[in-house]
Chains A and B, each alone.
Chain A
Amino acid sequence: MTIKSNAASVRFDAVTKAFGDVVAVDQISLLIEPGKLVTLLGPSGCGKTTTLRLIAGLEMATGGQIFIGDRDVTKLPATDRDVAMVFQSYALFPHMTVGENVAYGLKVSGVKKPDAQARSQDALNLVGLADLGDRMPSELSGGQQQRVAVARALVLEPQVLLFDEPLSNLDAKLRRRVREEIREIQQNLGLTVIYVTHDQEEALAVSDDIVVMNNAVIAQIGTPRELYEVPSDAFVADFIGEANILDCEIESVAGDMAQVRLGDIVMQLPALNLAPGPAQLAIRPRRVDLHAEAVAETLPGTLLKATYVGTHMEYRIETAHGEIFAISGDVDDLHHANSEIRVGFRDPGPVLIPAA
C-alpha cells in the first residue's frame, strides 16, 4: 500500500460565515486532532455543509481564523489547501474514465503520467475497484461511484479528508457496509477525516468525536458515549437518541454532586457545574422502569398507550410532570393501557441539564 497519510489537525478560531444577513456559522471554535474521524451532526440548515466548505476553502470565512496543521489557511483558496473532499453527489467528471477521474488531481499538480497512473491504480486497489479503471462513471453502480470518489480524494494524500453526507444516495444496507469501509480506510491510513451527516446512528457508529451543531453554533463536542450518556442540554439529549425532558429542582450542591428533587423523588446526581435552582432532567426511554404496585422513589402515572413492536414494548405514560416515553425489553410481562402505574428511574439514568 503506497497511499500514505499526511494527517494534520484542523483548528477553528471564532470562525464566522455570513451570507448577507444569514449567519450560517457563528463564532465557532474547534480543534480536530490529527488521525481522528470527527462527524458534524445536526438538523437541516444548521451550518454543517458550510463548516465543511470553510475547511475546504470553497467558502471564505467572514470572521475568525482557520488553521490546518500549523498553517493559517483562512485566506487561502481551495486550490492551494491540502484538503480533499468527497461530495454528496460524488461529482465524478462524467467525461473522464474512472482512471482519469482518480488521476485528475495528480495530473493538474504536474505529476508525470506513469507515476500518476501507478498511484491512481493503488488508490483504486485500496477501495477495491482495481479492474474498473477504464469504465465511465455512468457505467458504475452508486456504491462503486462512491468509492471512486473516495479514491480520487485519497490519491492526493491530503492532510484532511472531507465527506459531505457521502452515503445519502445509497440504500440502507449498502450504507452500513460503505461506512464501515470508510472507517476502516481511515483507521488503517491514520487519516484526519471530517464527516457531515444528519443521521445520528451513522455518526455514533463511525466517529471518534462528534460535533453537534444547532443554529450555526456548536451545541456539544464529545465522544459518541459522552453525547449519549451525558448530553449537555435538552437539544443534544433529544437529537442524539430520544430523551424524556422533565423539569426538576436542584435543592443543593455538595462538591460535584447535586441533590435533585422531582416530585416526591430525591436523587443524588453529578452536578455538572449547575447551581441550585430550577433545572431539567434528560432520561433515556430505556432507563425508565414501570411498576404495577407502589415502590419507593417512584412517580405515580396513568399508562396511556402500550405498543408491541416485536423486539420490545413501547409505553406512553401521563404523569404530573409531563408525558414520559418508556421502552421495555420485557415483552411477556405486560402492563395494560389506562391502568394506574408507578414510574421509576434506573441508576445511572437521569442526567441534569440546564433549565430551558
Chain B
Amino acid sequence: MNKFVALWLAVGLIGFFVLPWYTTDDAFVSFTWLRDGWPLDADYAPAIIQIFAHGKIWLAPLILFFAAVVPVLRGNPSDRLFAATLTFAGAGGLVFLLLQGFTIGIAGWEYASLEALFGPVERQFGMGAGAVLVAAAFLFLLTQGFAARGYVGGDLFVAGSIGLIIALITAFVFFPVSRILVSAFQDNQGVYAFSLFAEKISDSKIWGLRCLSENVSCGVAWNSLMLAVSVGIGSTLLGLAFALVTTRARLKMGKAFRVLTVLPIITPPFVIGLAMILLFGRAGVVTQFMASTFDIPPTRWIYGFTGIWLAQMLAFTPIAFLVLIGVVEGVSPSMEEAAQTLRADAWTTFSTVSFPLMRPGLANAFLLGFIESMADFGNPFVLGGNYGVLSTEIFFAIVGAQNDQGGAAVLAIVLLAFTLTAFYVQRRWVGKKSYVTVTGKGDAGLHAMLPKRLTWLIFAIVIPWTFMMLVIYCMVMFGGFVETWGRDHSFTMRHYADAFSVTTGEHGLIWSGAAWNSFWTTISISAIAAPLTAGLGLLTAYLLVRQRFAGREAFEFGTMLSFAIPGTVIGISYILAFNIPPLELTGTGIILIICFMFRNMPVGLRAGVAAMSQLDKNLDEASLTLGANSFTTVRNVILPLLRPAIAAALVFSFVRAITSVSAVIFLVSADYHMATAYIIGRVENGDYGLAIAYSSVLILVMLAAVSLVQLVISRRKLGRRTAVAGAEQAGAVAT
C-alpha cells in the first residue's frame, strides 16, 4: 500500500465525512460545533450531510475524485497509470472545488446565466475546516502525481512543498491583487464600467499639476512620487555616511551605531512621527521654547511634506545603512591598496575606486528607500495634514464617508504600478550586480582611510542626526509620563494606568486597562504568525537555493513579489477578496495571521537564501547518499545549521507583525483589535499621552523578545570543546 496516497486520501475523507464543511466560528481552533448540533445542523454539518439533508447536491461529485484514487492505492509509483490517476484526481478535484466555490455564493448562483441553465440552488458560505482539508488532500494527491512522473527527481517532499507554496501564494497574493484590478473596473454596484475607470484614473486629484503654478496641492501620485524620491535619495546618502563612519573612520563608536540602527526596526513606524509632533508640533517642546525665547510664532510646518520626509528619513535610514554597510565592507581593501600603491591619494582612491564599486549598492539602497516610503502609511497619516499621498488616500477612500471601493482600487493600482516598477528595476538592474564585490573570501588588508574633507563633512551630518535620534527615543520613553503634552508637564502615571492597569477582583486578576485587549491580541497573533512566516520563508528559500525545477524563475518572482505590494494595497485587496465565499475571512484573526505571513515572508526568505547559499551543498548530498530522504535531510542537517537564520527570521517576523500598520488598519475587527490600530485611533483623538505610553511598552516588549530569541536559539553548537577536555585527559594520563 502506498503510504502517502493513503494518508492524503484519509485526510480528504475526514474533511468530507467528519468536519464541518462551512466556516463555523472565527476562533482559531474551536470545538463548540461539537456541542451545537453537529453533525446534522446546517451550519456545522460535514459535506456528506450537506448533500443529503441540506440540498447541497453540487458537492456530491467531489467524492468521485476520491474514489478514483482507490484503485491505485496499491499501485507502483513508477507505473504510468499511477501518475496519471493521481494527477487527474487531484487536479480534477481542485478545479471542481474552486468552480463550485466561485459560482455558488451566499445568494445561490453568482451568475444569472447559470441560474437560467440549471435552475435555482441553495446558498452557501465560505470554506470551513472540512473544505480546507479536502482541498489540501487534492493538492497533495496532485503533487504526488507530478512526483511520480519524475518532476523534481520524483521527490515527494519537494514536489509537495512547491505545490503548497504555489497554492498559498496564488490564494493569498495573486487572487486578492487581481480582485483589486477587477474592482477598479467596476462601479460601486459591481457593474463593469470602463469609462468610469478611465475617468477615475486620470482624475486631477491623482495627477493634477496645478501646484506648479498656483498655491494648491498637487495630485497625490505626484506627492507620493516626490516624497519617495527624496526619501530614497536622502536615506541612501545618510545611510552611506553612517556606513562610511562605521567602517572607515576607525571609530570606537562604530558598534554603538549598529545598535542604534536596531531601534527603528522595533519601532512602529508612526511612533517617530508622533515623537516629532511632540517636539515640533504647535505644542511641541522645541516650538514652545522657540516661541518663548525668540518670539518665533508656532506654525504647523511639521504637518506636510517636510514632516513626513523627516520622519521617514529617521525610520528608513537604518535600512539603507544595513544594505550599505555590506556594500562598503564588501569593497575589497586590496583594490584600494592597489590604487594607493599606484600613487592615488586618499581622495582619488575614494572617488575613482571605492565609490564606483559601491554604486550598484547605492542604487539598491535607493530603490528600497523608495519602496518603503511609497508603502508607508503611519507617518503620512500622523503628519500628513493636507499633504495627501496614495497610501493615505486609499485609506480615506475606503474608511471615510465616501466608502468608494472602486476609487480606492484605482489609487491602489497607481501605487502598485509605482512600487512594482521600482521592484522590477531593482531586480533587473541591480539585484545581481550588487553581489559581485562580496566574495565571501577572507581578504586581509585595511580599508583606506577617508579623505579628511569628507570625514569632516560626514561628521557634520552624522553627529546631529544621531543626537536627534537620541532625543526622539527619549521623547518616546518619557513622553508617556507627562500629564498633557505642551501644556502641563507634570509627572504622571495616569497614561500607563489607563492603558495597563490590573486590579484584583474576586476571580483573581482583572486586566482592566484599556490597552490589554489589543495588547494580548497583538502578542498572540504575532506569536502565531512568526513561526509560520519564518517556516514559509525558509521552506521557500530551501526550494530556491537547493532545488532545480521547471518554473523556478517564475516561482522566485512570485514569492518576492509580495515584498513590493504596499500594505495598504494588501489591506484593501484582502477586504475585497475575502469578504465573500469561498474564502470568507474578514473579521477573523486568521486573516491577520495570513496577512502577516505573506507580507513578511520575504524577510525569512532572504535570511534563508543568504544563509543557505553559504552551506556547502555537499552536506545535503552526503545526507542523501547516506539514505536520508530530503525531508530528513532538511530536519537533521539543514535546520540545525541554519539556527542563526531561523532566529533572525523568527524575530523579524514577530517584530514586523507587531509594528505593521498599513494593512492591519483595514483588517482589524472588534474581536481582533491590534495594538498599532488602537494607537493610531488614540492619535486621531489627540490622546498622545496614552499613544506614546503604549508605544514605549511595545518597544520594550519587542526588545525583550529580540534578546530572548537571540539568547535561546542562535548559540551554535559547532564549538571546540576538546581544548579543555583534551587537556584534562592528558593531565589524567600524566599523573
| Interaction A to B | yes
**Interface residues in chain A, defined as those with a beta carbon under 8 Å from any beta carbon in chain B:** 56-58, 60, 75, 77-79, 81, 83-85, 87-89, 91-95, 104-105, 108-109, 135-136, 138-139, 152-153, 156, 162
**Out of B619, B632, B716, B717, which one reaches A91, CB within 8 Å?**
B619
In chain B, what residue has the closest Cβ to A158?
B625
Question: B154 contacts A77, CB within 8 Å?
Answer: yes
Question: B626 contacts A152, CB within 8 Å?
Answer: yes
A94-B641, A105-B627, A108-B626 known; A85 vs B719 contact (CB < 8 Å): no
Question: B720 contacts A60, CB within 8 Å?
Answer: no
Residues of B within 8 A of A89 (CB): 616, 618
Question: A75 contacts B78, CB within 8 Å?
Answer: yes
A78 and B155 CA atoms in complex are apart in Å by 10
Question: B622 contacts A85, CB within 8 Å?
Answer: yes
User: Would you give the shortest CB distance from A120 to chain B, in whole angstroms?
Assistant: 12
Question: B154 contacts A91, CB within 8 Å?
Answer: no
Residues of B within 8 A of A105 (CB): 626-628
User: Would you give the shortest CB distance from B80 to chain A, in whole angstroms?
Assistant: 13
Say whether B713 faces chain A, with CB atoms less than 8 Å apart.
no
From 586 to 633 in chain B, residues with beta carbon under 8 angstroms from any chain A beta carbon are 616, 618-619, 621-630, 632
**Out of A57, A87, A108, A162, which one reaches B636, CB within 8 Å?**
A108
A104 and B624 CA atoms in complex are apart in Å by 11
Question: B621 contacts A91, CB within 8 Å?
Answer: yes
Return 22 A-B CB contacts under 8 Å, by A number.
A56-B621, A75-B150, A77-B153, A78-B621, A79-B630, A84-B626, A85-B622, A87-B621, A89-B616, A89-B618, A93-B623, A94-B641, A95-B640, A95-B641, A104-B636, A105-B626, A136-B718, A136-B721, A138-B720, A139-B720, A153-B625, A153-B626
A75 and B153 CA atoms in complex are apart in Å by 8
Question: Size band of the B side of the interface?
Answer: 20 to 34
Question: A139 contacts B722, CB within 8 Å?
Answer: yes
A89-B616, A108-B632 known; A78 vs B625 contact (CB < 8 Å): yes
A89 and B624 CA atoms in complex are apart in Å by 16
Question: B626 contacts A156, CB within 8 Å?
Answer: yes
From 625 to 666 in chain B, residues with beta carbon under 8 angstroms from any chain A beta carbon are 625-630, 632, 636-637, 640-641
**Out of B78, B618, B625, which one reaches A83, CB within 8 Å?**
B625
User: Would you give the shortest CB distance from B342 to chain A, in whole angstroms?
Assistant: 34
Residues of B within 8 A of A85 (CB): 621-622, 625
User: Would you give the shortest CB distance from B628 to chain A, in whole angstroms?
Assistant: 4
A91 and B633 CA atoms in complex are apart in Å by 13
Contact digits for B492-534, partner A, Cβ 8 Å, 1 yes 0 no: 0000000000000000000000000000000000000000000
In chain A, what residue has the closest Cβ to B722?
A139
Residues of B within 8 A of A78 (CB): 621, 624-625
Residues of A within 8 A of B716 (CB): 95
User: Would you give the shortest CB distance from A164 to chain B, in whole angstroms?
Assistant: 9
Residues of B within 8 A of A92 (CB): 622
Residues of A within 8 A of B629 (CB): 79
7 closest A-B pairs by beta carbon, nearest first, are: A105-B626, A91-B618, A91-B622, A78-B624, A108-B628, A87-B618, A85-B625
Residues of B within 8 A of A93 (CB): 619, 622-623, 637, 641
Residues of A within 8 A of B717 (CB): 95
Question: A75 contacts B627, CB within 8 Å?
Answer: no
Beyond A79-B628, A87-B618, A136-B722, 4 additional pairs, beta carbon < 8 A? A60-B150, A89-B618, A136-B721, A156-B627
A87 and B619 CA atoms in complex are apart in Å by 9
A136 and B618 CA atoms in complex are apart in Å by 18
In chain A, what residue has the closest Cβ to B643?
A95
A77 and B716 CA atoms in complex are apart in Å by 31
A92 and B637 CA atoms in complex are apart in Å by 10
In chain B, what residue has the closest Cβ to A139?
B722
* Interface residue SS majority, chain A: loop
User: Would you give the shortest CB distance from A61 to chain B, in whole angstroms?
Assistant: 11
Residues of A within 8 A of B626 (CB): 84, 104-105, 108, 152-153, 156
A91-B618, A95-B641, A108-B632 known; A79 vs B624 contact (CB < 8 Å): yes
From 359 to 405 in chain B, residues with beta carbon under 8 angstroms from any chain A beta carbon are none
Counting chain B CB atoms within 10 Å of each CB, which of A56, A91, A138 scores highest?
A91
Residues of B within 8 A of A75 (CB): 78, 150, 154
Counting chain A CB atoms within 10 Å of each CB, which of B155, B626, B640, B718 scores highest?
B626
Question: B622 contacts A87, CB within 8 Å?
Answer: yes
In chain A, what residue has the closest Cβ to B630?
A79
In chain B, what residue has the closest Cβ to A93?
B637
Question: A84 contacts B625, CB within 8 Å?
Answer: yes
User: Would you give the shortest CB distance from B635 to chain A, in whole angstroms?
Assistant: 10
A95 and B637 CA atoms in complex are apart in Å by 8
**Out of B78, B619, B624, B636, which one reaches A58, CB within 8 Å?**
B624
A225 and B619 CA atoms in complex are apart in Å by 37
Residues of B within 8 A of A84 (CB): 625-626
User: Would you give the shortest CB distance from A67 to chain B, in whole angstroms?
Assistant: 15
User: Would you give the shortest CB distance from A158 to chain B, in whole angstroms?
Assistant: 9
A248 and B583 CA atoms in complex are apart in Å by 82
A56 and B641 CA atoms in complex are apart in Å by 24
Residues of A within 8 A of B636 (CB): 104, 108
A95-B640, A135-B722, A138-B718 known; A77 vs B623 contact (CB < 8 Å): no
Residues of B within 8 A of A138 (CB): 718, 720
Question: A136 contacts B616, CB within 8 Å?
Answer: no
A135 and B720 CA atoms in complex are apart in Å by 8
Counting chain B CB atoms within 10 Å of each CB, which of A79, A81, A94 scores highest?
A79
A108 and B421 CA atoms in complex are apart in Å by 48
**Out of A79, A88, A94, A152, which one reaches B718, CB within 8 Å?**
A94
In chain A, what residue has the closest Cβ to B77?
A75
A85 and B155 CA atoms in complex are apart in Å by 20
User: Would you give the shortest CB distance from A214 to chain B, in whole angstroms?
Assistant: 26
User: Would you give the shortest CB distance from A49 to chain B, in whole angstroms?
Assistant: 11
Residues of B within 8 A of A77 (CB): 153-155, 624
User: Would you give the shortest CB distance from B351 to chain A, in whole angstroms?
Assistant: 41
A85-B622, A94-B641, A139-B722 known; A79 vs B627 contact (CB < 8 Å): yes
Question: B625 contacts A56, CB within 8 Å?
Answer: yes
Residues of B within 8 A of A136 (CB): 718-722
A104 and B637 CA atoms in complex are apart in Å by 10
User: Would you give the shortest CB distance from B77 to chain A, in whole angstroms?
Assistant: 10
From 672 to 729 in chain B, residues with beta carbon under 8 angstroms from any chain A beta carbon are 716-722
Residues of A within 8 A of B153 (CB): 60, 77
Residues of B within 8 A of A95 (CB): 640-641, 716-718
User: Would you give the shortest CB distance from A341 to chain B, in whole angstroms?
Assistant: 50
User: Would you give the shortest CB distance from A108 to chain B, in whole angstroms?
Assistant: 4
